[in-house]
Structure 1
Amino acid sequence: MTRLFYFLLISLCCACSSSTNSNQGTAPKPETISTDHSILGEENARKQLNDCLKGKGQPFTWDTLIKTPATAIAIAEPILFDVFGKEQILQEKPYEIYQMEGYWYIAGTLPKSYNKGGAFEIIFSAKDGRIIRLTHYK
């Protein structure tokens, strides 16, 4: 469960930066990073990750990190695209989206005349983005 949370957290970071990063969530190669910025490096990143996994450092203190439907969709879509395919998910627009009891529920929709399968469903925490359901009905 902890690994899933950290996977989601990393996905969240990639999703939030994808609109400004032309590499779509991939880190730039060290040699392509501008030399006018300080780079802490992978060793520091590994230390920070290990400290976090051991419970060291600043605790997560936000009561709700994902506050708007637009942010919820921006977090969910890259994950859905990766798992089920971008074309498939985009065909299921418009999405149903609801925030209930501290969770986001997002589901795809299908044309009323369509009778060959189902749509995706994702439910995740509005507080920290932890996914509690990710499925695609057939």
Structure 2
Amino acid sequence: MNKRTLNIAIALLLFIPAAYSQSPHNFKPARGYVPDAGTAIKIAVAVWEPIYGQEQISRQKPFKAVLVNGTWIVEGTLPKNSLGGVAVAEIAQDDGKILRVGHGK
């Protein structure tokens, strides 16, 4: 093998792995990135806690999530005979985008 052929072979061996490492890998589950209520609730809690505080959010358990037209609507629960509102989040089932966050009064 001559020197030129050897250099080409080495360059190819170095280039091929680099080319594959640059390719975009993107697996998307058939049911989207937020496939179920449990996942939607985990995302909502992760968003709510920095905004409203862990203590405030933990008092709103249990959380409920309902899927409506591809959007998870996640809400906290008020204890019986309590006044006030609960945290609400709307999360896209397909890509997990946070569409809306709020808190009732």
TM-score (norm 2): 0.68
More strand by share: 2
1:43 corresponds in structure 2 to none
Quote the offset at 1:112 in angstroms: 2.3
Structure 2 letter corresponding to 1:126? Q
Q: Does 1:98 align with 2:66?
A: yes
**CA–CA distance in structure 1, aligned partners of residues 37 and 28 of structure 2:** 21
Q: Does 1:137 align with 2:99?
A: no
Quote the offset at 1:89 in angstroms: 0.6
- Of residues 99, 108, 133, the one that matches 2:76 is 108
**CA–CA distance in structure 2, aligned partners of residues 74 and 96 of structure 1:** 11
Q: Percent identity?
A: 34
- Of residues 39, 43, 61, the one that matches 1:71 is 39
The SS at the match of 1:135 is strand
Quote the offset at 1:62 in angstroms: 4.8
Q: Does 1:121 align with 2:105?
A: no
Structure 2 letter corresponding to 1:87? E
CA contact (8 A) 2:41 2:64 kept: no
Structure 1 pair 61–67 and aligned structure 2 pair: CA distance change class (3 A): closer
4+ aligned runs moved over 6 Å, structure 1: none
**CA–CA distance in structure 1, aligned partners of residues 26 and 39 of structure 2:** 22
**CA–CA distance in structure 1, aligned partners of residues 97 and 82 of structure 2:** 32
Quote the offset at 1:137 in angstroms: 1.1
Structure 2 letter corresponding to 1:131? I
**CA–CA distance in structure 2, aligned partners of residues 71 and 96 of structure 1:** 11
The aligned runs of 1:25-40 (5 Å cut-off) are none
Q: Which runs of 5+ in 1 are unaligned?
A: 1-47, 49-56
CA contact (8 A) 2:49 2:57 kept: yes
When Rg is computed on C-alpha atoms for both structures, the one with the higher figure is: 2
